[in-house]
Each structure stands twice: as structure tokens, then as C-alpha cells.
Amino acid sequence: MIESNPSLASLIDSASVAVAELSGQTARWQAAAPGRVNLIGEHTDYNLGWVLPMAIDRYTAIAAAPGVPGQIRVRSLAMAEERSLSLDQLHTPHCDVWMRYVQGVIAQYDRRGVCCLGLDVAVASSIPPGGGLSSSAALELATAHLLEAVTGQTLTPTERIQVCVQAEREMAGVPCGIMDQTVVELAESGQALLLDCADQTARPVPFDSQAPALLVIQSGVSHALAEGAYAQRRADCEQASAELGVKSLRDVSLDQLAGLKAAPLLHQRATHVVSENQRVCDAVAAIDQGQWDRMGALMTRSHESLRDDYEVSCPELDLLVELATAERGVYGARMTGGGFGGCVIVLVETDQLEAVAHSISDQYEDRIGWAPGCYRVQAGAGAREICTAL
């Protein structure tokens, strides 16, 4: 019932073979970047709060060979599509949304004087698109590392993160925070990452073989964050901050939320952000102390807040959380990612993993009519160039 996970080596091989078919040349450059799950801390990043994401052992791999001067051709194996981008139209958004993530990174590097030559590119991925596992940030960071391999010009990790955040905001039109790109770039194997989004400092939090298993379950509802709801939540938070006279909701205590009682919607949004920040801090303490019951309860409360106060869940996500938390061996569950679809993440005793995945899948299929994808994920390393054949 738990789906197999293609190795990074096999993804690199697939992308390299596709490049050879596309260009008639052997792939010269390769790079890869992981997806991510957010253990807790949702919609706090653009409010300058705290988040606790983790890179996962599912990847986007990208390979390239020299192409026609002035043109980028990209073949996506996951999308079964091939698209072209003229470099003289580099700063005009491509008509295909998925291409804008590649284009946006190339455009940001171009603004920094790192100019891309004509390339034939192939992308292979084991990260489900639109599933809340940050396939977009993985594609951005893989593209960034590929460009640096191609040009021989290297940015710092901080600059690379900034490039990819700006690419998503300006070219893809998603007003994202910094969480996804930061963890995809900086992650270490066997570690989650506690990120302070105010000063962008990060520290690893061990989440290795001593921890319970993490099960990701797809709802089958693909989110579309650029369609307005995500942007509206961000605008609500900015308005709430203005009403309270603070720079961001990070600076607000639960007691201060009384100042929003005359604006019930803003009160709801702020309540989620303020309480979620506290849950992140509590979660780190729970992990450090091996208190998995406490960690699971925090995850479930996070989902309830996202459902009721922030209103970014959906019936399918709520059902998955309900089914998961009723299972023996489950500590807690929550939606992960921006919401409106995507995945839930379940913290479960390792020896109960298969049974829990089977039970939830069967019940969900009975209720919804579709068997959800189930994946075990583990803490993986961050984005990098692949310098030699694997």
C-alpha cells in the first residue's frame, strides 16, 4: 500500500537519458533538489514566525546538454510535456505555468549577471506536483544548481535562496515566504530545520531513525496557490498586523488578539498564526525530549487551527486526518503545505506503518472513490549539483 520510492540515482539516469534523446548529446550537467514536508508551522513564514520543515527523500533531478543558442528546451517526464523558452523573452512569463519556475530562476540569475546559454534540459521527479510537498521549490533549486554548474558562477546559499524566492513571487505569481526554498537548500540528512523567518537563522533538529515514522498521504485534491486564496490569507495577516500596530503577527501575544474582536475574520487568522508559532516552539521541545505523544497532539491541534481559524483545509484533508487519528499507533496528523488540497502527514509508530496506511487507504477509497497515494518519507539532504555519475 505504501508506494515505492525511486532512488535519486534512477531519477538522474532518467533525466540524462531524456536529455540524450532530446538533444542527441550526452548530458553534461546534472543537479537535484529534495521535496519537503512541514512538520509544523504553517502560514507562519510570511508572518516572520517560526517553522519546522524537513527535506524528504523524494527528489527533482535535472540534467542538461548544450542546446540551440538563445533557446531553452525543457522536457518534463512527470508532465509528459516539452516546452521551449526564447532567451530574448526571458522576462515575459511563459504561457505554461510550470515553465515559469524554471524561467524565473534563469531570469533572476540573468539580473545578477549570470547569463545562461542555450540548453536542452530534462526533469525527472518523484515529488507529486500540486501535493503540498514543494515540488516548485525543488524545481527552482535544482535549476539554480544546474545553472551554476553550466556557467561556473556560484552564488552563496543565502543568495541562491533569495533568487528562488523572487523567481516564485515575480514569475510564478505566488507570494510565498522563505520556508520552502530555505529547507530545500540547507537541509541535512536525518535533521529537520527550525527556521526563524524574521532573521532567517536556522538550526537542525534531529529527526532520524530514533523518531517514529512519517507517512504522507495524498488527498487527490491538487492545490493552486496562485489562484488567489493564498494571497488573500497573506493580505488578511497584513491587515491584522496594521490593526494591531505591529510589523508582523510574530510580535503579537494571545492576549493582544483581543484588539481584533471587532474584526472576527482577522481575529481568526491572527489566532492561528500566533498559536501556531507557539506550537512550533513546543514541538521542538517535544522532539528534543522524545515526547512523541505531545508532538502528535501538537500536529493535530495545528490541523484544527488551519481548518477552523485559517480556513485553508478541505473536506478531503479533514477526512484523512480524522481517519489517521483514529488509528492505533498514530500520534497525530495534519495537513502539510499551503492547503486547499495536497497531503497530510501522519506521525506513526514504525511497526504500525503498513497497517495504518492500508486501513486509511481502504476507508478513504470507500468514502471518496479514490485510493490515495501513501509514502513513507525520511529526512533527506538539500539541493546540490551532481558532479559524477551515481
Q: Is residue 151 part of a domain?
A: yes
| pLDDT value for 227 | 60
Cell numbers placing 23 = 538533444
| pLDDT value for 40 | 98
Cα–Cα distance, 65 to 142 (Å, whole number): 15
Same-domain status, 48 and 74: yes
Same-domain status, 226 and 335: yes
CATH number of the domain encompassing residue 293: 3.30.70.890
To the query of whether residue 180 is one of the catalytic residues in this protein, the response is yes
Q: Is residue 1 part of a domain?
A: no
Q: Is residue 3 part of a domain?
A: no
| pLDDT value for 388 | 54
Q: What is the 3-state secondary structure (H, E, C) of 331-385?
A: EEEEEECCCCCCEEEEEECHHHHHHHHHHHHHHHHHHHCCCCCEEEECECCCCEE
| pLDDT value for 3 | 81
Q: Exactly one of 180, 196, 199, 251 is catalytic; name it.
A: 180
Q: Is residue 191 part of a domain?
A: yes
Same-domain status, 201 and 220: no
Q: Is residue 390 part of a domain?
A: no
Q: Is residue 132 part of a domain?
A: yes
Question: Which parts of the chain register pLDDT below 50?
Answer: 226, 389-390
Q: Are the C-beta atoms of residues 50 and 60 closer than 8 Å to each other? A: no
Q: Domain count for the chain, please give it.
A: 2
| pLDDT value for 120 | 97
Same-domain status, 34 and 49: yes
- CA neighbor of 295 nearest in space, from 274, 309, 281: 281
pLDDT, tens only, 137-185:
999 999 999 999 999 999 999 999 999 999 999 998 887 878 999 999 9
Same-domain status, 332 and 367: yes
Same-domain status, 193 and 244: no
Same-domain status, 240 and 367: yes
pLDDT, tens only, 269-285:
999 999 999 999 999 99
Same-domain status, 99 and 222: no
**β-bridge partners, 119:** 66, 72
Q: Is residue 302 part of a domain?
A: yes
CATH number of the domain encompassing residue 28: 3.30.230.10
Q: Are the C-beta atoms of residues 390 and 12 closer than 8 Å to each other? A: yes
Same-domain status, 354 and 225: yes
Q: Are the C-beta atoms of residues 199 and 159 closer than 8 Å to each other? A: no
Same-domain status, 140 and 220: no
Cell numbers placing 43 = 502560514
Give the three-state DSSP class for 110: helix
Q: Is residue 322 part of a domain?
A: yes
Same-domain status, 59 and 188: yes
| pLDDT value for 389 | 44
Domain that holds residue 143: 8-206+380-385
